Amino acid sequence: MDWKRVLPLPVAILVAGSVGYYLGSQIEHQANETPETIASLESPKPIHTSEERNTVEPSESSENSSLTLDQILEEKEGPERSYLFGRYIDNLELSEMPEALEKIENMKSSPRKVRFTSLLIRRWGELAGQEAFQFAVSQKGRNGMSYLSYAIEGWAKKDPVEAWDSFMNVTNSGAKYTPRVGAVLGSIARENLELAVAFVQDLKDPRMQQSSFQSIVNAASEKGEYKPLLTQVLSIENLKQQQNLVEALFTNWGQYESNLPFDALESIQDDTISESAMRGFIKGWATNDGQGALEYTLENASDPLMKKLSLNAVAQWARYSSAEEMKDIMQTIASAENRKELTESIIQPLAQADPEGAIQWVANIEDLDSKATNTAYVLYNWARTDPESAKAYYRNAPEEKVRITSTYAMTYNAIHNGDSPNETIDLLTRYEDPKMQTQALEIMAYAATQPNNRDKSQALRNSLLEYAENTEILTEEKRGSIVRKLKPKE
Protein backbone atom coordinates (compact mmCIF):
# COMPACT_ATOMS: atom_id res chain seq x y z
CA MET A 1 0.00 0.00 0.00
CA ASP A 2 1.30 3.46 -0.92
CA TRP A 3 1.06 5.01 2.53
CA LYS A 4 2.69 8.28 1.49
CA ARG A 5 -0.03 8.96 -1.06
CA VAL A 6 -2.75 7.94 1.36
CA LEU A 7 -1.28 9.63 4.42
CA PRO A 8 1.12 12.52 5.04
CA LEU A 9 4.47 11.87 6.66
CA PRO A 10 4.50 12.17 10.45
CA VAL A 11 5.21 15.65 11.73
CA ALA A 12 6.73 14.58 15.01
CA ILE A 13 10.30 13.39 15.05
CA LEU A 14 10.83 10.36 17.26
CA VAL A 15 13.17 10.57 20.17
CA ALA A 16 14.55 7.94 22.40
CA GLY A 17 -23.75 -12.39 35.74
CA SER A 18 -21.66 -14.19 33.32
CA VAL A 19 -20.11 -10.77 32.87
CA GLY A 20 -19.28 -10.81 36.55
CA TYR A 21 -17.50 -14.15 36.27
CA TYR A 22 -15.64 -13.08 33.14
CA LEU A 23 -14.61 -9.81 34.73
CA GLY A 24 -13.49 -11.72 37.80
CA SER A 25 -11.01 -13.71 35.74
CA GLN A 26 -9.73 -10.50 34.17
CA ILE A 27 -9.24 -8.88 37.59
CA GLU A 28 -7.45 -11.96 38.89
CA HIS A 29 -5.15 -11.77 35.86
CA GLN A 30 -4.51 -8.07 36.41
CA ALA A 31 -3.83 -8.56 40.12
CA ASN A 32 -1.26 -11.28 39.47
CA GLU A 33 0.22 -10.07 36.20
CA THR A 34 4.02 -9.81 36.05
CA PRO A 35 5.89 -7.50 33.69
CA GLU A 36 8.39 -10.05 32.48
CA THR A 37 8.09 -11.38 28.95
CA ILE A 38 7.91 -15.10 28.19
CA ALA A 39 11.56 -15.16 27.31
CA SER A 40 12.68 -13.83 30.69
CA LEU A 41 10.38 -15.55 33.21
CA GLU A 42 12.82 -18.34 34.12
CA SER A 43 16.10 -16.56 33.49
CA PRO A 44 18.81 -15.90 36.04
CA LYS A 45 19.50 -12.24 36.76
CA PRO A 46 21.27 -10.24 34.03
CA ILE A 47 24.98 -10.85 33.70
CA HIS A 48 27.80 -8.81 32.23
CA THR A 49 28.21 -9.08 28.47
CA SER A 50 31.53 -10.21 27.06
CA GLU A 51 32.26 -6.62 26.02
CA GLU A 52 31.52 -5.34 29.52
CA ARG A 53 33.69 -7.99 31.12
CA ASN A 54 36.59 -7.21 28.83
CA THR A 55 36.56 -3.51 29.64
CA VAL A 56 39.45 -2.75 31.96
CA GLU A 57 38.32 -0.33 34.62
CA PRO A 58 40.76 2.41 35.60
CA SER A 59 40.88 1.26 39.22
CA GLU A 60 41.63 -2.36 38.39
CA SER A 61 45.06 -3.46 39.59
CA SER A 62 47.27 -6.09 38.01
CA GLU A 63 46.92 -8.02 41.25
CA ASN A 64 43.15 -8.31 40.73
CA SER A 65 43.70 -9.37 37.12
CA SER A 66 45.65 -12.43 38.22
CA LEU A 67 43.43 -13.60 41.07
CA THR A 68 42.80 -17.35 41.23
CA LEU A 69 39.30 -18.81 41.20
CA ASP A 70 39.59 -19.62 44.91
CA GLN A 71 40.45 -16.00 45.67
CA ILE A 72 37.57 -14.73 43.55
CA LEU A 73 35.07 -17.06 45.22
CA GLU A 74 36.30 -15.91 48.64
CA GLU A 75 35.62 -12.27 47.74
CA LYS A 76 32.59 -10.70 49.41
CA GLU A 77 29.38 -10.57 47.42
CA GLY A 78 29.08 -7.62 45.08
CA PRO A 79 29.59 -6.31 41.54
CA GLU A 80 33.38 -6.58 41.74
CA ARG A 81 33.21 -10.28 42.46
CA SER A 82 30.96 -10.86 39.42
CA TYR A 83 33.26 -8.71 37.27
CA LEU A 84 36.37 -10.61 38.33
CA PHE A 85 34.65 -13.95 37.77
CA GLY A 86 33.57 -12.89 34.30
CA ARG A 87 37.15 -11.97 33.36
CA TYR A 88 38.42 -15.24 34.78
CA ILE A 89 35.89 -17.26 32.77
CA ASP A 90 36.78 -15.46 29.53
CA ASN A 91 40.34 -16.79 29.81
CA LEU A 92 39.44 -20.28 31.03
CA GLU A 93 40.78 -23.19 28.97
CA LEU A 94 39.02 -26.50 28.38
CA SER A 95 41.49 -28.43 30.55
CA GLU A 96 40.66 -26.16 33.50
CA MET A 97 36.90 -26.67 33.20
CA PRO A 98 36.43 -29.73 35.48
CA GLU A 99 38.27 -28.17 38.41
CA ALA A 100 36.44 -24.84 38.05
CA LEU A 101 33.07 -26.60 37.85
CA GLU A 102 33.81 -28.62 40.97
CA LYS A 103 34.74 -25.51 42.96
CA ILE A 104 31.57 -23.70 41.93
CA GLU A 105 29.42 -26.74 42.70
CA ASN A 106 30.85 -26.68 46.23
CA MET A 107 29.50 -23.15 46.76
CA LYS A 108 26.50 -22.67 49.02
CA SER A 109 23.26 -22.71 47.06
CA SER A 110 22.36 -19.17 46.00
CA PRO A 111 21.42 -17.11 42.93
CA ARG A 112 25.14 -16.21 42.67
CA LYS A 113 26.06 -19.88 42.37
CA VAL A 114 23.50 -20.36 39.60
CA ARG A 115 24.83 -17.32 37.76
CA PHE A 116 28.46 -18.44 38.04
CA THR A 117 27.53 -21.92 36.85
CA SER A 118 25.66 -20.41 33.89
CA LEU A 119 28.67 -18.33 32.85
CA LEU A 120 30.94 -21.33 33.17
CA ILE A 121 28.67 -23.50 31.03
CA ARG A 122 28.46 -20.82 28.35
CA ARG A 123 32.26 -20.67 28.20
CA TRP A 124 32.34 -24.46 28.15
CA GLY A 125 29.96 -24.36 25.19
CA GLU A 126 32.38 -22.09 23.33
CA LEU A 127 35.25 -24.52 23.95
CA ALA A 128 33.48 -27.87 23.60
CA GLY A 129 29.85 -27.44 22.67
CA GLN A 130 28.78 -31.08 22.63
CA GLU A 131 30.28 -31.71 26.08
CA ALA A 132 28.66 -28.64 27.62
CA PHE A 133 25.35 -29.53 26.02
CA GLN A 134 25.40 -33.09 27.39
CA PHE A 135 26.27 -31.81 30.86
CA ALA A 136 23.40 -29.29 30.77
CA VAL A 137 20.92 -31.94 29.57
CA SER A 138 21.86 -34.09 32.56
CA GLN A 139 20.94 -31.35 35.04
CA LYS A 140 17.51 -31.39 36.63
CA GLY A 141 14.86 -28.79 37.37
CA ARG A 142 14.55 -25.13 36.56
CA ASN A 143 18.28 -24.42 36.65
CA GLY A 144 18.99 -27.34 34.34
CA MET A 145 16.75 -25.88 31.63
CA SER A 146 18.50 -22.54 32.02
CA TYR A 147 21.95 -24.16 31.81
CA LEU A 148 20.87 -25.80 28.55
CA SER A 149 20.32 -22.37 26.99
CA TYR A 150 23.73 -21.14 28.13
CA ALA A 151 25.44 -24.22 26.71
CA ILE A 152 23.68 -23.71 23.37
CA GLU A 153 24.53 -20.01 23.36
CA GLY A 154 28.22 -20.73 23.75
CA TRP A 155 28.18 -23.64 21.30
CA ALA A 156 26.35 -21.57 18.67
CA LYS A 157 29.24 -19.12 18.46
CA LYS A 158 31.39 -21.85 16.91
CA ASP A 159 28.87 -24.19 15.31
CA PRO A 160 25.40 -22.58 15.16
CA VAL A 161 23.77 -25.21 12.94
CA GLU A 162 24.70 -28.25 15.04
CA ALA A 163 23.99 -26.36 18.26
CA TRP A 164 20.53 -25.28 17.12
CA ASP A 165 19.63 -28.71 15.73
CA SER A 166 20.58 -30.33 19.04
CA PHE A 167 18.56 -27.74 20.90
CA MET A 168 15.48 -28.34 18.74
CA ASN A 169 15.74 -32.10 19.22
CA VAL A 170 15.82 -31.92 22.99
CA THR A 171 13.02 -29.32 23.26
CA ASN A 172 10.66 -30.70 20.59
CA SER A 173 11.26 -27.71 18.32
CA GLY A 174 10.90 -25.28 21.16
CA ALA A 175 7.55 -26.68 22.33
CA LYS A 176 9.23 -27.56 25.63
CA TYR A 177 9.74 -24.18 27.24
CA THR A 178 13.39 -23.24 27.74
CA PRO A 179 14.50 -19.86 29.09
CA ARG A 180 16.79 -17.54 27.14
CA VAL A 181 16.01 -18.88 23.66
CA GLY A 182 16.10 -15.25 22.57
CA ALA A 183 19.65 -14.86 23.86
CA VAL A 184 20.73 -17.82 21.73
CA LEU A 185 19.11 -16.41 18.60
CA GLY A 186 20.46 -12.94 19.33
CA SER A 187 23.98 -14.33 19.58
CA ILE A 188 23.56 -16.10 16.24
CA ALA A 189 22.03 -12.99 14.63
CA ARG A 190 25.09 -10.91 15.48
CA GLU A 191 27.10 -13.26 13.30
CA ASN A 192 24.57 -14.39 10.71
CA LEU A 193 21.21 -12.62 10.42
CA GLU A 194 19.88 -14.93 7.73
CA LEU A 195 20.60 -18.03 9.81
CA ALA A 196 18.90 -16.57 12.88
CA VAL A 197 15.72 -15.80 10.89
CA ALA A 198 15.73 -19.34 9.52
CA PHE A 199 16.12 -20.78 13.01
CA VAL A 200 13.34 -18.73 14.64
CA GLN A 201 10.87 -20.30 12.22
CA ASP A 202 11.59 -23.68 13.80
CA LEU A 203 9.90 -22.66 17.04
CA LYS A 204 6.41 -24.16 17.26
CA ASP A 205 4.97 -21.83 19.87
CA PRO A 206 4.07 -18.51 18.16
CA ARG A 207 4.43 -16.62 21.45
CA MET A 208 7.91 -18.01 21.99
CA GLN A 209 8.71 -17.24 18.38
CA GLN A 210 7.70 -13.60 18.72
CA SER A 211 9.42 -13.04 22.05
CA SER A 212 12.62 -14.69 20.81
CA PHE A 213 12.50 -12.69 17.59
CA GLN A 214 12.94 -9.54 19.67
CA SER A 215 16.54 -10.57 20.32
CA ILE A 216 17.14 -10.86 16.58
CA VAL A 217 15.65 -7.41 16.07
CA ASN A 218 17.86 -6.03 18.84
CA ALA A 219 20.92 -7.54 17.18
CA ALA A 220 19.91 -6.00 13.84
CA SER A 221 19.38 -2.66 15.59
CA GLU A 222 22.88 -2.77 17.08
CA LYS A 223 24.34 -3.39 13.63
CA GLY A 224 22.07 -0.91 11.82
CA GLU A 225 20.58 -3.74 9.77
CA TYR A 226 16.82 -3.20 10.01
CA LYS A 227 16.44 -3.25 6.23
CA PRO A 228 18.41 -6.50 5.70
CA LEU A 229 16.35 -8.09 8.48
CA LEU A 230 13.13 -6.94 6.80
CA THR A 231 14.30 -8.52 3.55
CA GLN A 232 14.90 -11.82 5.35
CA VAL A 233 11.51 -11.75 7.07
CA LEU A 234 9.68 -10.96 3.82
CA SER A 235 11.18 -14.11 2.33
CA ILE A 236 9.40 -16.31 4.89
CA GLU A 237 6.76 -18.45 3.20
CA ASN A 238 4.38 -18.71 6.17
CA LEU A 239 2.13 -15.64 5.91
CA LYS A 240 1.13 -15.69 9.59
CA GLN A 241 4.78 -15.79 10.66
CA GLN A 242 5.52 -12.93 8.28
CA GLN A 243 2.75 -10.84 9.80
CA ASN A 244 3.86 -11.46 13.38
CA LEU A 245 7.56 -10.90 12.78
CA VAL A 246 7.10 -7.85 10.56
CA GLU A 247 4.96 -6.26 13.26
CA ALA A 248 7.62 -7.01 15.89
CA LEU A 249 10.33 -5.56 13.65
CA PHE A 250 8.49 -2.31 13.00
CA THR A 251 7.54 -1.97 16.66
CA ASN A 252 11.22 -1.89 17.55
CA TRP A 253 12.20 0.23 14.57
CA GLY A 254 9.44 2.76 15.21
CA GLN A 255 10.78 3.47 18.69
CA TYR A 256 13.98 4.98 17.34
CA GLU A 257 13.32 6.29 13.83
CA SER A 258 10.45 7.65 11.78
CA ASN A 259 11.36 8.32 8.15
CA LEU A 260 13.39 5.16 7.48
CA PRO A 261 10.77 2.67 8.70
CA PHE A 262 8.05 4.69 6.99
CA ASP A 263 9.96 4.48 3.69
CA ALA A 264 10.55 0.75 4.21
CA LEU A 265 6.88 0.22 4.98
CA GLU A 266 5.92 1.84 1.69
CA SER A 267 8.02 -0.70 -0.20
CA ILE A 268 6.00 -3.67 1.10
CA GLN A 269 3.73 -4.88 -1.69
CA ASP A 270 1.35 -7.15 0.23
CA ASP A 271 -1.42 -5.09 1.89
CA THR A 272 -1.81 -7.58 4.75
CA ILE A 273 1.89 -7.44 5.61
CA SER A 274 1.89 -3.67 5.13
CA GLU A 275 -0.88 -3.32 7.69
CA SER A 276 1.06 -5.49 10.15
CA ALA A 277 4.06 -3.22 9.66
CA MET A 278 1.97 -0.11 10.24
CA ARG A 279 0.51 -1.59 13.43
CA GLY A 280 4.01 -2.22 14.71
CA PHE A 281 5.24 1.21 13.62
CA ILE A 282 2.44 3.06 15.44
CA LYS A 283 2.93 0.94 18.55
CA GLY A 284 6.67 1.59 18.59
CA TRP A 285 6.22 5.29 17.90
CA ALA A 286 3.68 5.63 20.70
CA THR A 287 6.02 4.15 23.33
CA ASN A 288 8.29 7.20 23.05
CA ASP A 289 5.99 9.84 21.58
CA GLY A 290 2.46 8.84 22.42
CA GLN A 291 0.99 12.23 21.66
CA GLY A 292 2.63 12.43 18.24
CA ALA A 293 1.51 8.91 17.29
CA LEU A 294 -2.03 9.46 18.50
CA GLU A 295 -2.40 12.85 16.80
CA TYR A 296 -1.08 11.33 13.56
CA THR A 297 -3.68 8.54 13.62
CA LEU A 298 -6.49 10.98 14.51
CA GLU A 299 -5.52 13.37 11.71
CA ASN A 300 -5.82 10.46 9.29
CA ALA A 301 -8.84 8.77 10.88
CA SER A 302 -10.67 8.79 7.54
CA ASP A 303 -8.58 5.72 6.78
CA PRO A 304 -10.23 2.77 8.62
CA LEU A 305 -6.89 1.30 9.60
CA MET A 306 -5.72 4.59 11.11
CA LYS A 307 -8.93 4.90 13.07
CA LYS A 308 -8.36 1.42 14.45
CA LEU A 309 -4.70 2.11 15.21
CA SER A 310 -5.63 5.24 17.15
CA LEU A 311 -6.85 2.82 19.84
CA ASN A 312 -3.42 1.17 19.92
CA ALA A 313 -1.67 4.54 20.02
CA VAL A 314 -3.72 5.89 22.92
CA ALA A 315 -3.30 2.63 24.85
CA GLN A 316 0.49 2.76 24.43
CA TRP A 317 0.61 6.42 25.41
CA ALA A 318 -1.46 5.73 28.52
CA ARG A 319 0.67 2.74 29.44
CA TYR A 320 3.77 4.90 29.77
CA SER A 321 2.13 8.02 31.22
CA SER A 322 2.05 9.51 34.69
CA ALA A 323 -1.18 10.46 36.41
CA GLU A 324 -0.63 14.08 35.35
CA GLU A 325 -0.07 13.11 31.72
CA MET A 326 -3.38 11.25 31.65
CA LYS A 327 -5.02 14.71 31.58
CA ASP A 328 -3.14 15.46 28.33
CA ILE A 329 -4.47 12.23 26.85
CA MET A 330 -8.06 13.07 27.76
CA GLN A 331 -7.63 16.53 26.27
CA THR A 332 -6.18 15.11 23.04
CA ILE A 333 -9.08 12.72 22.50
CA ALA A 334 -11.81 15.13 23.67
CA SER A 335 -12.91 16.06 20.15
CA ALA A 336 -12.11 12.77 18.40
CA GLU A 337 -14.92 11.10 16.48
CA ASN A 338 -14.21 7.79 18.22
CA ARG A 339 -13.74 9.35 21.67
CA LYS A 340 -15.83 6.65 23.36
CA GLU A 341 -13.69 3.80 21.99
CA LEU A 342 -10.47 5.71 22.74
CA THR A 343 -11.43 6.27 26.35
CA GLU A 344 -12.45 2.64 26.78
CA SER A 345 -8.99 1.67 25.52
CA ILE A 346 -7.36 3.48 28.43
CA ILE A 347 -9.89 2.80 31.17
CA GLN A 348 -7.51 0.64 33.21
CA PRO A 349 -4.57 3.08 33.37
CA LEU A 350 -7.03 5.94 33.76
CA ALA A 351 -8.69 4.14 36.65
CA GLN A 352 -5.31 3.62 38.29
CA ALA A 353 -4.16 7.21 37.78
CA ASP A 354 -7.38 9.06 38.57
CA PRO A 355 -10.26 6.82 39.67
CA GLU A 356 -12.52 9.73 40.61
CA GLY A 357 -12.03 11.31 37.19
CA ALA A 358 -12.50 7.93 35.54
CA ILE A 359 -15.76 7.24 37.33
CA GLN A 360 -17.12 10.61 36.21
CA TRP A 361 -16.42 9.67 32.60
CA VAL A 362 -17.85 6.17 33.06
CA ALA A 363 -21.07 7.61 34.49
CA ASN A 364 -21.78 9.27 31.13
CA ILE A 365 -21.50 6.10 29.03
CA GLU A 366 -24.83 5.45 27.35
CA ASP A 367 -24.37 1.78 26.49
CA LEU A 368 -25.29 -0.07 29.69
CA ASP A 369 -23.06 -3.12 29.10
CA SER A 370 -20.05 -0.90 28.44
CA LYS A 371 -20.88 1.28 31.43
CA ALA A 372 -21.15 -1.75 33.71
CA THR A 373 -17.86 -3.31 32.61
CA ASN A 374 -15.92 -0.05 32.83
CA THR A 375 -17.42 0.82 36.21
CA ALA A 376 -16.19 -2.52 37.54
CA TYR A 377 -12.62 -1.78 36.39
CA VAL A 378 -12.69 1.65 37.99
CA LEU A 379 -14.17 0.39 41.27
CA TYR A 380 -11.56 -2.37 41.42
CA ASN A 381 -8.79 0.23 41.34
CA TRP A 382 -10.61 2.85 43.41
CA ALA A 383 -11.40 0.39 46.22
CA ARG A 384 -7.71 -0.41 46.59
CA THR A 385 -6.79 3.19 47.46
CA ASP A 386 -10.06 4.72 48.73
CA PRO A 387 -12.40 1.86 49.66
CA GLU A 388 -14.99 4.00 51.41
CA SER A 389 -15.50 6.25 48.38
CA ALA A 390 -15.74 3.21 46.11
CA LYS A 391 -18.33 1.60 48.38
CA ALA A 392 -20.35 4.81 48.51
CA TYR A 393 -20.41 5.03 44.71
CA TYR A 394 -21.36 1.36 44.41
CA ARG A 395 -24.11 1.72 47.01
CA ASN A 396 -25.69 4.64 45.15
CA ALA A 397 -25.34 3.33 41.59
CA PRO A 398 -28.93 3.20 40.28
CA GLU A 399 -28.41 0.55 37.59
CA GLU A 400 -28.57 -3.02 38.88
CA LYS A 401 -26.53 -4.13 35.86
CA VAL A 402 -23.68 -1.87 36.96
CA ARG A 403 -23.74 -3.15 40.53
CA ILE A 404 -23.96 -6.86 39.69
CA THR A 405 -21.10 -6.59 37.18
CA SER A 406 -18.97 -4.92 39.87
CA THR A 407 -19.67 -7.63 42.47
CA TYR A 408 -16.47 -9.56 41.84
CA ALA A 409 -14.30 -6.43 41.99
CA MET A 410 -15.91 -5.30 45.25
CA THR A 411 -15.63 -8.80 46.77
CA TYR A 412 -11.99 -9.09 45.79
CA ASN A 413 -11.08 -5.82 47.46
CA ALA A 414 -13.22 -6.53 50.52
CA ILE A 415 -11.23 -9.74 51.02
CA HIS A 416 -7.85 -8.11 50.58
CA ASN A 417 -8.75 -5.00 52.58
CA GLY A 418 -9.94 -7.12 55.51
CA ASP A 419 -13.49 -5.71 55.49
CA SER A 420 -16.20 -7.01 57.78
CA PRO A 421 -17.74 -10.08 56.07
CA ASN A 422 -21.27 -9.31 57.21
CA GLU A 423 -21.06 -5.69 56.05
CA THR A 424 -19.71 -6.89 52.69
CA ILE A 425 -22.60 -9.34 52.25
CA ASP A 426 -25.10 -6.65 53.21
CA LEU A 427 -23.57 -4.17 50.74
CA LEU A 428 -23.36 -6.52 47.78
CA THR A 429 -26.75 -8.24 48.05
CA ARG A 430 -29.02 -5.16 48.21
CA TYR A 431 -31.48 -6.17 45.52
CA GLU A 432 -35.25 -6.51 45.72
CA ASP A 433 -35.27 -9.26 43.12
CA PRO A 434 -34.31 -12.65 44.71
CA LYS A 435 -32.72 -13.70 41.41
CA MET A 436 -30.32 -10.74 41.58
CA GLN A 437 -29.53 -11.51 45.24
CA THR A 438 -28.84 -15.11 44.28
CA GLN A 439 -26.54 -14.06 41.44
CA ALA A 440 -24.64 -11.73 43.78
CA LEU A 441 -24.15 -14.56 46.30
CA GLU A 442 -22.93 -16.89 43.56
CA ILE A 443 -20.36 -14.35 42.36
CA MET A 444 -19.21 -13.67 45.94
CA ALA A 445 -18.82 -17.41 46.61
CA TYR A 446 -16.89 -17.78 43.38
CA ALA A 447 -14.56 -14.90 44.29
CA ALA A 448 -14.02 -16.11 47.85
CA THR A 449 -13.02 -19.61 46.72
CA GLN A 450 -10.50 -18.60 44.06
CA PRO A 451 -7.00 -19.95 44.86
CA ASN A 452 -5.43 -16.48 45.00
CA ASN A 453 -8.05 -15.33 47.50
CA ARG A 454 -8.39 -18.35 49.77
CA ASP A 455 -5.70 -17.37 52.28
CA LYS A 456 -7.53 -14.17 53.17
CA SER A 457 -11.14 -15.14 52.56
CA GLN A 458 -11.80 -17.60 55.39
CA ALA A 459 -13.93 -15.17 57.41
CA LEU A 460 -15.99 -14.21 54.36
CA ARG A 461 -16.46 -17.86 53.36
CA ASN A 462 -17.73 -18.70 56.84
CA SER A 463 -20.19 -15.79 56.80
CA LEU A 464 -21.36 -16.59 53.28
CA LEU A 465 -21.89 -20.23 54.25
CA GLU A 466 -24.00 -19.26 57.26
CA TYR A 467 -25.98 -16.77 55.18
CA ALA A 468 -26.59 -19.27 52.36
CA GLU A 469 -27.76 -21.98 54.77
CA ASN A 470 -30.29 -19.68 56.45
CA THR A 471 -31.59 -17.20 53.87
CA GLU A 472 -35.01 -17.77 52.38
CA ILE A 473 -34.24 -16.17 49.02
CA LEU A 474 -32.40 -19.22 47.64
CA THR A 475 -34.00 -22.17 45.95
CA GLU A 476 -32.85 -25.49 47.35
CA GLU A 477 -30.89 -26.16 44.17
CA LYS A 478 -29.01 -22.85 44.38
CA ARG A 479 -28.50 -23.23 48.14
CA GLY A 480 -26.94 -26.64 47.65
CA SER A 481 -24.66 -25.37 44.88
CA ILE A 482 -23.37 -22.41 46.92
CA VAL A 483 -22.97 -24.47 50.13
CA ARG A 484 -20.99 -27.15 48.31
CA LYS A 485 -18.66 -24.51 46.92
CA LEU A 486 -18.09 -22.87 50.30
CA LYS A 487 -17.91 -25.93 52.59
CA PRO A 488 -14.39 -27.21 53.29
CA LYS A 489 -13.71 -30.59 51.75
CA GLU A 490 -13.52 -33.34 54.34
DSSP 117-140: HHHHHHHHHHH-HHHHHHHHHH--
Would you say residue 44 has pLDDT above 60? no
The whole-number average pLDDT for the span 193-218 is 90
Q: Which amino acid is at 221?
A: S
One-letter amino acid at 321 equals S
pLDDT of amino acid 82: 79
In a domain, 367, yes or no: yes
DSSP single-letter state for residue 239 = H
In a domain, 181, yes or no: no
pLDDT at 13 over 60: no
pLDDT in the model for residue 5: 36
Tell me the average pLDDT across 6-10.
39
- Lowest-confidence region among 23-27, 271-275, 348-352, 433-437: 23-27
Q: What is the pLDDT of residue 119?
A: 93
Q: Using the predicted structure, report yes or no on whether residue 30 has a pLDDT greater than 60.
A: no
Q: Residue 360's pLDDT band (boundaries 50, 70, 90)?
A: confident
Of 42-46, 81-85, 219-223, the range with the highest mean pLDDT is 219-223
Does residue 131 lie within any of the structural domains? Answer: no
- Is residue 430 included in any domain, yes or no? yes
Q: Provide the pLDDT for residue 166.
A: 93
The pLDDT-based confidence of 480 (bands split at 50, 70, 90) is very high
Helices 355-362 and 368-385 cross at an angle (nearest 10°) of 160
Using the predicted structure, report yes or no on whether residue 126 has a pLDDT greater than 60. yes
pLDDT of 16 over the 70 cut: no
pLDDT at site 94:
94
**What's the pLDDT at 39?**
32
Show the domain range for 451.
17-33+346-490
User: Could you tell me which of 441, 435, 430 has the C-alpha nearest to residue 469?
Assistant: 441
Average confidence (pLDDT) over 410-420: 96
Using CA atoms, how far apart are residues 393 and 406, in angstroms rounded to an integer?
11
Decide if 490 is inside a domain.
yes
Which long-range CB contacts under 8 A does 470-475 form with residues at least 24 apart?
A: 473/434, 473/437, 473/438, 474/434, 474/438, 474/441, 475/438
In whole angstroms, what is the distance from residue 16 CA to residue 257 CA?
9
Query: In whole angstroms, what is the distance from residue 42 CA to residue 45 CA?
Result: 9
| Cα–Cα distance for residue pair 167/409, rounded to 1 Å | 44
Do residues 10 and 285 touch, judged by C-beta distance below 8 A? yes
Exposure of 308 in the CB half-sphere (CA atoms within 13 A): 8
CB atoms closer than 10 angstroms to residue 344: 22
The yes-or-no verdict on residue 249 having pLDDT over 70 is yes
pLDDT at residue 189 above 60? yes
396 falls within a domain: yes
Percent share of the chain, pLDDT over 70: 85
Dump pLDDT digits (tens) for 255-283. Answer: 888 788 888 988 898 999 999 999 999 99
Query: What was the pLDDT predicted at 86?
Result: 84
Per-residue pLDDT, 27? 58
pLDDT tens per residue across span 173-185: 877 877 889 999 9
Cβ-based neighbours of 471, under 8 Å, separated by 6 or more: none
What's the mean per-residue pLDDT of the chain?
84
**pLDDT score recorded for residue 47:** 31
More confident residue, 124 or 45: 124
Residue 442 lies in a domain: yes
What is the reported pLDDT for 24? 62
Q: How many domains, the chain?
A: 1
| Residue 478 forms part of a structural domain | yes
Lowest mean pLDDT among 28-37, 249-258, 308-317, 459-468: 28-37
